[in-house]
Structure 1
Amino acid sequence: MIVKMLIEKYILDKNDKPVNVNQLLDYATLCYVNNQLTIWQYKSLVKELMLRGATKPEFYFEELTPELTLQ
């Protein structure tokens, strides 16, 4: 799937145009989670959208390291 097709799908589903590439990135993620995109399609779209300026939220990159307590 190319970005143009993702935009068309977004418009059909939402009855509105995406405001920015971050909305498309969120929508692509939603489509992937709902099994509407393969992993290869998703990775390709994410790469293209990132090249176009999309960013993931800051909390996405936080590393959670659970504390281990040995007793």
Structure 2
Amino acid sequence: MIVKMLIEKFIVEKNDKPGNVNQLMDFALLCYLNNKLSIKQYHSLMRELMVRGGSKPEYFFEEVQTELIS
């Protein structure tokens, strides 16, 4: 699948145009998780979208401190 096809699929499913490349990256991930894209298609799309300026979000993990129950 090429980016143009992903954009067309986005428009059909969301009834709106994608606002930016990151929105397409999120949509590609959703399609992959719903088995609408193969892993090969997903990786190819992600590479192309990153070349076009997309970026994956930075995740922040909070340290969980465990407390002893007395």
TM-score (norm 2): 0.84
Which stretches of structure 1, 4 residues or longer, exceed 2 Å deviation after superposition?
none
- Alignment match, 2:65: none
Asked if 1:37 corresponds to 2:40, the answer is no
Aligned length: 61
State the AA in 1 paired with 2:14: K
Deviation for aligned residue 1:20: 0.3
Q: Secondary structure at the match of 2:12?
A: helix
Structure with more of its chain in helix, by fraction: 1
Deviation for aligned residue 1:6: 0.1
State the AA in 1 paired with 2:38: T
Deviation for aligned residue 1:27: 0.1
TM-score (norm 1): 0.83
Cα RMSD (Å): 1.2
Structure of higher CA gyration radius? 2
Q: Secondary structure at the match of 1:16?
A: coil
